């Protein structure tokens, strides 16, 4: 009975799947690197509420311009496609 190596590959695969695997956190702990779930972020520059409002308005305006530009581009592409499809003979 010849199995063509499929059985051997299956046995090897099962052996490899049985071995213990270390998690990333265990590897960090074993290497001596300090790891903490509770880290604080520190920002040197703080924005005032007025600056945050200006930034928010600026981003909204930029997004509005991008949406309008995309709508115009898609409309032009659709009109061109409809124009060329109208001349196609089936």
Task: List Cβ neighbours of 13 (8 Å cut-off, separation of 6 or more).
Answer: none
Query: What number is the average pLDDT over the span 65-79?
Result: 97
Q: How far apart are CA 51 and CA 59, in angstroms?
A: 12
Tokens 């010849």 belong to which residue? 2
Query: What number is the average pLDDT over the span 55-77?
Result: 97
Question: What average pLDDT does the chain have?
Answer: 83
What pTM does this model have? 0.47
Query: What number is the average pLDDT over the span 61-85?
Result: 96
Q: Residue ranges of the domains in the chain?
A: 6-32+47-86
Q: How far apart are CA 33 and CA 27, in angstroms?
A: 9
Query: What number is the average pLDDT over the span 1-12?
Result: 76
Q: How far apart are CA 53 and CA 51, in angstroms?
A: 5
């Amino acid at each position: 009975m010849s199995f063509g190596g499929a059985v051997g590959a299956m046995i090897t695969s099962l052996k490899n799947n049985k071995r213990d695997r270390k998690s990333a956190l265990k590897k960090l702990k074993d290497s001596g690197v300090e790891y903490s779930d509770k880290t604080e972020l520190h920002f040197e520059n703080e924005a005032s509420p007025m600056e945050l409002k200006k930034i928010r308005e600026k981003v909204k305006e930029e997004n509005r311009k991008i949406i309008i530009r995309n709508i115009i581009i898609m409309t032009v592409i659709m009109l061109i496609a409809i124009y060329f499809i109208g001349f196609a003979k089936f």
